[in-house]
Amino acid sequence: ATLPFGLHGKIESVRNTSTNVGRLLCAAIRRSTRADAAIFNSGSIRASIGPGEVTKGDLLAALPYGNFAVTVRMKGSDLLRALNHGLAQPNEGGFPQFYGLRVTARETKTFGANGAIIRRCRAEAGEVGDYPLDPDEDYTIAINDFMYEGGDGYKAFSKYPSQTHQTVEEILRDYLAQADPEGLSEINQDDVLAIIVEEPAAAK
């Protein structure tokens, strides 16, 4: 497989915003599992992948944990709860990468007791496909087995029955082998997460 651009997997990027490696990975998982959307914890992404020929070593460096893709059929209210759990963890491995979803979130910053800035991020609006996220609707969501088992504090998934699929590395490998450059470029440029940042009020 050949990439026309690099995939940005640096920790400071994937744990704070949507990146092209997260979008591409989730697009691959979503298509492979036929889910409505896919969510992936950024802590399971460990390296960037440069442009050009993608090797098995590149994929294993980026995805070293051997996670399997898992699908669950879940309520929109729990999907929103999972998203907000992840969004509330900037700089942490639980911060979510996703595709098939569009989220507008608001980030607020407050001063902690020691003067440190505390960041909180929460979804204000969400869409699944082309429709607003409905708390009462059922959605098929693809994640990984680590998240299903409660990894990074995700608790919204395990109450639902699950179906296990291929490893995430295999899914991405097959996706890249079949993908066309135009489709890859569309995912590369897609803006699925908008974060509105509110600056903190002056410390008292």
**What global pTM score does this model have?**
0.93
Given a cut of 60, is residue 177 above it in pLDDT? yes
39/96 Cα distance (integer angstroms): 6
Identify the residue whose tokens are 């008292």. 204
Residue 196: is its pLDDT beyond 70? Answer: yes
Mean pLDDT (whole number) for 127-153: 97
Q: What pLDDT shows up at residue 202?
A: 57
What is the number of other CB atoms lying within 10 angstroms of the CB of residue 5?
16
pLDDT-derived band of residue 146, with 50, 70 and 90 as boundaries? Answer: very high
Do 126 and 101 form a contact (C-beta atoms < 8 A)?
yes
**Band of residue 182 on the pLDDT scale cut at 50, 70, 90:** very high
Which of 95, 78, 76 is CA-nearest to residue 195?
Answer: 95
Determine the pLDDT at residue 1.
79
- The SS3 call for residue 32 is helix
